[in-house]
Structure 1
Amino acid sequence: MTTNPKIIPYSVLELASVASGSTPEDTFKKSLDLAQKAEEFGYTRFWLAEHHNMISIASSATSVLISHIAGGTKKIRVGSGGIMLPNHSPLIVAEQFGTLGSLFPGRIDLGLGRAPGTDQATAYAIRSDRMQSVYQFPDEIRQIQQYFSPDNRGARVRATVAEGVEVPIYILGSSTDSAHLAARLGLPYAFASHFAPTYLFDALNIYYSEFQPSEFLQEPYTIACINIIAADTDREAERISTSMIRMIVGVLTGKIDYMQKPIEMTPELWEISQDPAFQRMLKYAFVGSKETVKQKTAEFLKQTGVNELMVASHIYHHEDRVHSYRIVSELMKEFLYVV
């Protein structure tokens, strides 16, 4: 029997972070450049998150930004990581992503989550009945599937631009609830272990044990997201990581600010990085040289057995971020498994 070595797919989660001294316009240009570089480096997907009312994140109009990225690249898959469905009408989501799927055939992914992606006051401003929609999350996913189905042509309510268009749906999650749902619907599952690692293994076990094959997916497929900051040396990566540490402090204290320039690691920042709350949130934040990050990433892949790795990188300088993703692509090409 012959076997074929395959590279574990690796992808990008882009938060479109706004650095101090820059504008959302600057951020969008850098996001596109990163996507173009990621395409060159062999990344499989470039997913964009949905957040609102945050000065540090510019990916609020996620589907619009997806179109911008897809239009400036050639083959990398572009999608949502994710669309927070309770913020939206399923019909509008189907129309938007059906349009994207027609504009960029075979390249668009629709990742769906149910978190607000913002504070409660803003969530209410987006959609006043969103809490009701949260409980209807499974039904609204099925509605979107129906809108994409050619069988919906006879329905009274149609998303005509979506019917028959190929846009795979992914269930996103940071808890075990989403794992049950993804397994029951027979859909691929992406876990947010880059900021909510607590239930990673419980969620994966639930998904694998409860998975039911569907017309969309015959076998379980999992993606896990981690943070990586890679540089030529451990010391340089540590210095670059101070931007991420200060950003997380802002999140934990409710004082969200623009991404700040890196500084030399101070005793105060080091102490903060060792705080239990910080450690829990960034359990899977790998910082260091290629060899350091390679070792930690290899252990993560071995422990989880996920099918695909997604990488988020909170880095201030664009050239440092591109270099980090280049290093990740190099080390990922060295991880082979046999199928």
Structure 2
Amino acid sequence: MRNPVPFSVLDFSLIRAGETAAHALNQSVEMARAAEALGFARYWVAEHHGAQTVASAATAVVIGHIAGRTSTIRVGSGGVMLPNHTPLVIAEQFGTLESLYPGRIDLGVGRAAGSVHDDVAKVLRSTPEARERFPDDLRELQSLFREPEPGKPVCAVPGAGLDVPIWVLASSPFSAQQGAQLGLPLAFATHIGADARDTAIAAYRANFQPSAVLDRPYVMIAGVVTAADTEADAQFLFSSLQQLSLGRLRGTPMMRLAPPVSHFDTLTSDDERARLAVAVRAAITGSPQQVEQKLATLIDETDADEVMVLSFIHDLDARRRSLEIIGKVRDSLNARRAAIAQ
């Protein structure tokens, strides 16, 4: 029988126009509770810095906030940007979270700076050398979660001896290969590295070394999914992300997530529309039937073990409805997989 594909949620704790980071963080709790009730496997938040629309910069703090207000869903990072931190500090933070919420914490790590702005990267003390150090830092992080050794001068407390699953986040083949060499699960971000998807996943599977963590490769595919009751409604909701992308394209990034607009294409030039189409080409948008078809294709193309969805939907009720639809799509797809396997 083919295994069912779990579905999970990635959240940027988006700050809506007219609201504050406090609103966004409390809304993340609401969405996590909704995801838990709908049977999603994980709820991850992402480390971004200097982005006026994102409230999850202090990722470990946000994870604790969400884990403390949910009961069963796994909560984690998608991810912590390792070049911004020392492995010891991350081991202590996530060791603390695992101690408080045992069996529910995931640690996804990436090698980016968590910002598209050079000035922010400088303030973070994030350097090219720090990114190059990622493979060594990743191994050091693993070692800090192992059982403490007598006389060992450095020990993560809490952290040492705790089972905190480490995931490698990737949008390119480089990080995917690092995960493969260490036998760790891979989370690939199609919303960042759409063109590298197939190459990175192939490199991960080809180079995978079985470990105490995994005996076979495990690939989670993450991407933007906007589901609504009709295609027109979904396209309308998707215009909030399009406005964010347009602001970045024009060099005038938006301060907050804007409400959706009708006829978004009338706001752009032909050249901008073409460039935006490339930027969001991996996004899945549509009615329940369309989303199911597109997610089925994505799973088939990548042989994904798990799917993680991200949305930029402004309206909270519409965001919940999108999760409801995706949950039903998950159940339908898994029922089909089970029927085919019989």
Normalised-by-shorter TM-score class:
over 0.9
Relative to structure 1, the CA distance from residue 266 to residue 282 in structure 2 (aligned partners, 3 Å threshold; closer, same or farther) is closer
Give SS of 1:83's match: strand
**What does the per-residue CA deviation read over 1:132-160, in whole Å, with 9 as the maximum and x for residues that have no partner?**
22111111111111111104453101112
Give SS of 1:142's match: helix
Q: Which residue of 2 aligns with 1:284?
A: 282
Task: Indicate yes or no: 2:318 matched with 1:323.
Answer: no
Aligned-residue offset at 1:273: 9.8
Give SS of 1:224's match: strand
**What does the per-residue CA deviation read over 1:218-261, in whole Å, with 9 as the maximum and x for residues that have no partner?**
11000111111111111111111111110111233332211101
TM-score by length of 2: 0.94
| Structure 2 unaligned blocks of 5 or more | none
Relative to structure 1, the CA distance from residue 124 to residue 276 in structure 2 (aligned partners, 3 Å threshold; closer, same or farther) is same
Moved more, 328-337 or 99-108: 328-337
Aligned-residue offset at 1:270: 7.4
Task: Indicate yes or no: 2:243 matched with 1:246.
Answer: yes
Pick one of 202, 206, 217 that aligns with 2:203. Answer: 206
Q: Which residue of 1 aligns with 2:166?
A: 169
Aligned-residue offset at 1:96: 0.2
Partner Cα separation in structure 2 for residue 82 and residue 51 of structure 1: 9
Task: Indicate yes or no: 2:97 matched with 1:100.
Answer: yes
Q: Which residue of 2 aligns with 1:70?
A: 67
Do the aligned residues in 2 keep the contact of 1:77 with 1:107 (CA within 8 Å)? yes
Give SS of 2:193's match: coil
Percent of pairs identical after alignment?
A: 38
Do the aligned residues in 2 keep the contact of 1:272 with 1:278 (CA within 8 Å)? no
Partner Cα separation in structure 2 for residue 68 and residue 135 of structure 1: 32
Relative to structure 1, the CA distance from residue 79 to residue 94 in structure 2 (aligned partners, 3 Å threshold; closer, same or farther) is same
Q: Which residue of 2 aligns with 1:275?
A: 273
Task: Indicate yes or no: 2:183 matched with 1:186.
Answer: yes
Partner Cα separation in structure 1 for residue 274 and residue 215 of structure 2: 40
Task: Indicate yes or no: 2:309 matched with 1:311.
Answer: yes
Q: CA RMSD in A?
A: 1.7
One-letter amino acid of the counterpart of residue 287, structure 1: T
Partner Cα separation in structure 1 for residue 150 and residue 278 of structure 2: 48
**What does the per-residue CA deviation read over 1:185-220, in whole Å, with 9 as the maximum and x for residues that have no partner?**
110011110232010000011111110001111110
Relative to structure 1, the CA distance from residue 287 to residue 203 in structure 2 (aligned partners, 3 Å threshold; closer, same or farther) is same
| Structure 1 unaligned blocks of 5 or more | none
Partner Cα separation in structure 1 for residue 270 and residue 298 of structure 2: 24
Aligned-residue offset at 1:268: 2.1
Do the aligned residues in 2 keep the contact of 1:242 with 1:269 (CA within 8 Å)? no
Q: Which runs of 4+ in 1 moved over 4 A?
A: 269-274
Partner Cα separation in structure 1 for residue 68 and residue 81 of structure 2: 23
Give SS of 1:12's match: strand
Q: Which residue of 2 aligns with 1:260?
A: 258
Partner Cα separation in structure 1 for residue 134 and residue 9 of structure 2: 26
Pick one of 138, 141, 145 that aligns with 1:141. Answer: 138
Q: Which residue of 2 aligns with 1:29?
A: 26
Do the aligned residues in 2 keep the contact of 1:273 with 1:279 (CA within 8 Å)? no
One-letter amino acid of the counterpart of residue 69, structure 1: I
Partner Cα separation in structure 2 for residue 111 and residue 182 of structure 1: 11
Partner Cα separation in structure 2 for residue 326 and residue 117 of structure 1: 30
Pick one of 136, 147, 151 that aligns with 1:150. Answer: 147
Aligned-residue offset at 1:278: 2.1
Aligned-residue offset at 1:280: 2.6
Do the aligned residues in 2 keep the contact of 1:183 with 1:210 (CA within 8 Å)? yes
Do the aligned residues in 2 keep the contact of 1:98 with 1:165 (CA within 8 Å)? yes
Partner Cα separation in structure 2 for residue 272 and residue 172 of structure 1: 34
Do the aligned residues in 2 keep the contact of 1:197 with 1:281 (CA within 8 Å)? no
Partner Cα separation in structure 1 for residue 56 and residue 312 of structure 2: 14
Do the aligned residues in 1 keep the contact of 2:36 with 2:73 (CA within 8 Å)? yes
Do the aligned residues in 2 keep the contact of 1:146 with 1:152 (CA within 8 Å)? no
Do the aligned residues in 1 keep the contact of 2:239 with 2:264 (CA within 8 Å)? no
